[in-house]
Structure 1
Amino acid sequence: MGSFSIWHWLIVLLIVIMVFGTKKLKNLGSDLGGAVKGFKEGMKDGGAAPEDKAADAAKVSNAAAADKTTIDVEAKQKL
């Protein structure tokens, strides 16, 4: 009673194709594939992100230290 034969699945597939159409099913499949691909890329990039952020922060702090034209407003007011 709980198992379906191949004929049941073919009938269900035929009804789904008739209701949604092949174009919508194709778009749904490509969207789902793109989402899975994006998720996998995000999982790979997630492990490397903290190292990259630390390197970017070091570059910003080095650039600020090398910039001699910065004026400290509070120090100028104290004079």
Structure 2
Amino acid sequence: MGGLSLWHWLIVLVIVVLVFGTKRLGNVGKDLGEAVKGFKKGMRDGDEDRPAGQLRDDSSRDETRQSSETRQDDRNPR
């Protein structure tokens, strides 16, 4: 009596198809698929849409790290 069996799910599926119809369910599936594709594209192209000042630039970060290391070496001669 714990879970729903395969027959329960089939009956629920038949009722949903009868209530909504196959055309409407197909449109919902198509819209959901397009939304997922749009989300994936947005995640992939997310950095390209940002202004140049907000892009992550590893070379400038390396230059900053090197300059801070140089300043620390100037203060603490060995």
Bin the TM-score by the shorter chain: 0.5 to 0.7
TM-score when normalising by structure 2: 0.62
RMSD: 1.5
Give the unaligned 5+ runs of structure 1: 56-79
**1:9 counterpart = 2:26:** no
- Tell me the residue number matched to 2:28: 28
Identity %: 64
- Tell me the residue number matched to 1:69: none
Give the unaligned 5+ runs of structure 2: 54-78
Code of the residue aligned with 1:42 in structure 2: it is G
Code of the residue aligned with 1:10 in structure 2: it is L
Higher helix share: 1
| C-alpha distance in structure 1 between counterparts of 2:2 and 2:48, whole Å | 47
Moved over 2 A (4+): 47-50
Code of the residue aligned with 1:23 in structure 2: it is K
* Among 46, 51, 54, the residue aligned to 2:52: 54
| C-alpha distance in structure 2 between counterparts of 1:11 and 1:46, whole Å | 43
Give the paired residue count.
53
TM-score when normalising by structure 1: 0.61
Code of the residue aligned with 1:20 in structure 2: it is F
